[in-house]
């Protein structure tokens, strides 16, 4: 029966936060390629200030590819190895600003800089000095002018309307493209006029993937994600803001079918996520700290039909600012995810969450490969359980509450026994039966008995 299921390569990304290039290369070969991730989003690859906090990566000193995560050679080698494993690299491009340190200093790779002086790249005239608020900082997000020409938390704000600044940024991005990256996450895109971003990315080769970070800020903010969809995709923050609280409260209101999503960008422009490196330290309702609920949230996202999902994988923290474990020089230590099969009950600070290696994630990527071309049907609720069908090709069900629940989901999948992709993973069917749980479809109904805080997923490729 497995052979009968057509597979497509699903467009699913993974953000490997603050992971060194050599480890990302290993992950591409060991896990990302085999599981069917099509792209990996890296942390910023250029030289930044020399500090231990993770957010040092978001204060560029220059555009040499020499960072806490590796050298230019390491980066180039990673792109080659990921490419060979079928995984595109999307680099995080910090182009709205340079550093936010008031004192002069030396970057991670030894380059001297001062606030508004970056030798060989930019001088004081290349920056906005908005003069609208104290210290030139953004204080009022309802002012487009402030958001785009004042400073985001003291970060020296590049005048992205200037030809010199644009050319300098394009040269940097072209350099990354010459090493084989497929595209860019545009950091803080909201803080650059969409016309400026468009002018910059318009100079890049056709087909370069652009995903802009424009945090949807509500109706009072003038700068909206829709302005940035003319030249690429955007991260759609409404999606996790809708999904996360439903999972957290174990109260599912059928969301989010295509036509019911008026507040979201069109599906083909949306990159969706459960959390990212900012929201896991802030607004996200569900993160790795919620273990099984995090699996549930990721399962629902990966089974859903809206946007391109990106899974997040970082490291455990109690201090919001704490960087990934590093050596005495500040270089982040390589990390392996061998043996990680699911969320741990508890983590030590700095321990990698290894979400890309979880059995349930691999299983849901297989689900998506088999079922994501099919229509997503209306959800079914049963107390704190919820599920839905991808018509005729797969069914997902979750129980986010504290009681055992039986849930029945009508389906047009063929009657028979199916192996669960959540507990069985990518190759859920084995000679003797199922690697994980077995579920049955009979009389047009898929039946699941779900323990508290568990999920289940069956698809045409997992029929016994
Ligand atoms: C750090 C210190 C600051 C210090 C600064 C300069 O924390 O105290 O002033 O350095 O020395 C990251 C960290 C920041 C860090 C910064 C630079 O999160 O703490 O500052 O790096 O090292 C807005 C933006 C959005 C941005 C978020 C964080 O619109 O683009 O703020 N997200 C990206 C990255 C971040 C990164 C940066 C941008 C900067 O993902 O990781 O910051 O490169 C509403 C609005 C949003 C707004 C949000 C928070 O929701 O709608 O637009 O997001 O509030 O203010
Ligand atoms: Ca700006």
Q: Mind listing the pLDDT tens digit for each residue in 249-295?
A: 999 986 655 456 667 999 999 999 999 999 999 999 999 999 999 99
* pLDDT at residue 157 in the model: 98
Q: Computed from CA positions of residues 221, 222, 225, 226, in that sequence, does the dihedral angle turn out positive or negative?
A: positive
Mean pLDDT, all residues of the chain = 96
For residue 106, report the distance from its CA to the centre of ligand 1, in Å.
22
* pLDDT at residue 216 in the model: 96
- Residue 409: C-alpha distances to residues 248, 317, 371 (Å): 22, 38, 16
Whole-number Å distance between alpha carbons of 166 and 312: 31
User: Residue 3 — very low, low, confident or very high, per pLDDT cuts 50/70/90?
Assistant: very low
Residues near ion ligand 2 (CB < 5 Å) are 96, 157, 191
Q: Indicate which residue's Cα is closest to atom 48 of ligand 1.
A: 215
User: Residue 417 — very low, low, confident or very high, per pLDDT cuts 50/70/90?
Assistant: very high
Q: Mind listing the pLDDT tens digit for each residue in 72-111?
A: 999 999 999 999 999 999 999 999 999 999 999 999 999 9
Q: Which helix (H) or strand (E) holds 243?
A: helix 238-249
pLDDT at 5 over 90: no
Q: Is the ipTM of this complex over 0.90?
A: yes
- Whether the CB of 314 sits within 6 Å of ligand 1: no
- Whether the CB of 146 sits within 6 Å of ligand 1: no
Whole-number Å distance between alpha carbons of 56 and 48: 6
Pick the atom of ligand 1 nearest to 282's CA: 49
For residue 35, report the distance from its CA to the centre of ligand 1, in Å.
32
For residue 56, report the distance from its CA to the centre of ligand 1, in Å.
11
Q: Looking at residues 435-440, what average pLDDT do you find?
A: 98
* pLDDT at residue 167 in the model: 98
Pick the atom of ligand 1 nearest to 191's CA: 29
- Whether the CB of 151 sits within 6 Å of ligand 1: no
- Whether the CB of 139 sits within 6 Å of ligand 1: no
* pLDDT at residue 262 in the model: 64
* pLDDT at residue 261 in the model: 62
pLDDT at 318 over 90: yes
- Whether the CB of 225 sits within 6 Å of ligand 1: no
Q: What is the pTM of this model?
A: 0.97
For residue 420, report the distance from its CA to the centre of ligand 2, in Å.
48
For residue 196, report the distance from its CA to the centre of ligand 2, in Å.
10
Q: What is the DSSP string of 387-403?
A: EEEETTTEEEEEE-SSS
Pick the atom of ligand 1 nearest to 153's CA: 9
Q: What is the largest CA-CA distance in the chain?
A: 72
Q: Which helix (H) or strand (E) holds 249?
A: helix 238-249
- Whether the CB of 279 sits within 6 Å of ligand 1: no
- Whether the CB of 312 sits within 6 Å of ligand 1: no
Pick the atom of ligand 1 nearest to 57's CA: 22
* pLDDT at residue 253 in the model: 80
| Residue positions annotated with a catalytic role | 187, 213
Strands (E) across 336-383 are located at 380-382
* pLDDT at residue 159 in the model: 98
Q: How many residues does the chain have?
A: 464
User: Residue 2 — very low, low, confident or very high, per pLDDT cuts 50/70/90?
Assistant: very low
- Note the helical H segments in 111-227: 144-149, 163-178, 194-201
Q: Looking at residues 295-309, what average pLDDT do you find?
A: 96
Whole-number Å distance between alpha carbons of 125 and 231: 28
Q: What is the DSSP string of 66-124?
A: -BTTB-HHHHHHHHHHHHHTT-EEEEEE--SB----SS-EEBTTS-EEBTTBBTTTB-G
Q: Looking at residues 342-371, what average pLDDT do you find?
A: 98
Q: Indicate which residue's Cα is closest to atom 26 of ligand 1.
A: 188
């Amino acid at each position: 029966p497995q052979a009968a299921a057509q597979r497509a390569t699903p467009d699913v990304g993974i953000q490997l936060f603050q992971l060194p290039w050599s480890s990302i290369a290993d992950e591409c070969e060991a896990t990302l390629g085999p599981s069917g991730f099509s792209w990996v989003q890296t942390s910023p690859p250029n030289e930044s200030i020399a500090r231990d906090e993770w957010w040092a990566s978001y204060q560029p000193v220059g555009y040499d590819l020499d960072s806490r995560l590796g050298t230019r050679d390491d980066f180039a080698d990673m792109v080659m190895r990921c490419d060979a494993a079928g995984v595109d690299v999307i680099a995080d491009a910090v182009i709205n600003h340079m550093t936010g340190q008031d004192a002069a200093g030396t970057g991670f790779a030894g380059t001297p800089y001062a606030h508004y002086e970056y030798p060989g790249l930019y001088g004081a005239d290349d920056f906005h000095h908005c003069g609208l608020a104290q210290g030139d900082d953004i204080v009022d997000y309802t002012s487009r002018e402030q958001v785009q020409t004042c400073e985001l938390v003291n970060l020296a704000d590049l005048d992205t309307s200037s030809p010199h600044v644009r050319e300098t940024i394009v040269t940097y991005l072209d350099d990354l493209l010459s090493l084989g990256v497929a595209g860019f996450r545009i950091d803080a895109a909201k803080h650059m006029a969409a016309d400026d971003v468009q002018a910059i990315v318009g100079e890049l080769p056709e087909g370069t993937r652009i995903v802009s970070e424009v945090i949807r800020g509500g109706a009072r903010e003038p700068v909206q994600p829709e302005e940035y969809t003319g030249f690429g995709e955007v991260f759609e923050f409404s999606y996790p803001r809708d999904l996360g609280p439903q999972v957290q409260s174990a109260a599912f209101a059928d969301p989010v079918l295509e036509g019911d999503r008026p507040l979201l960008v069109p599906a083909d422009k949306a990159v969706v996520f459960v959390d990212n490196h900012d929201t896991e330290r802030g607004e996200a309702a569900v993160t790795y700290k919620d273990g099984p609920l995090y699996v549930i949230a990721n399962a629902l996202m990966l089974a859903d039909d809206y946007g391109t999902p990106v899974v997040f994988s970082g490291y455990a923290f109690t201090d919001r600012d704490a960087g990934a474990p590093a050596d005495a020089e500040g270089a982040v230590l390589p990390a392996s995810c061998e043996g990680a099969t699911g969320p741990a009950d508890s983590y030590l600070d700095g321990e990698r969450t290894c979400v890309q290696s979880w059995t349930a994630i691999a299983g849901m990527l297989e689900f998506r490969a088999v079922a994501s071309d099919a229509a997503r049907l209306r959800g079914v609720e049963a107390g704190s359980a919820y599920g839905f069908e991808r018509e005729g090709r797969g069914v997902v069900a979750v129980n986010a509450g504290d009681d055992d629940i039986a849930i029945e989901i009508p389906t047009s999948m063929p009657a028979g026994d199916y192996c669960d992709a959540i507990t069985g993973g990518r190759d859920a069917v084995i000679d003797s039966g199922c690697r994980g749980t077995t579920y049955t479809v009979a009389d047009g109904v898929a039946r699941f008995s779900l323990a508290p805080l568990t999920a289940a997923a069956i698809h045409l490729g997992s029929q016994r």
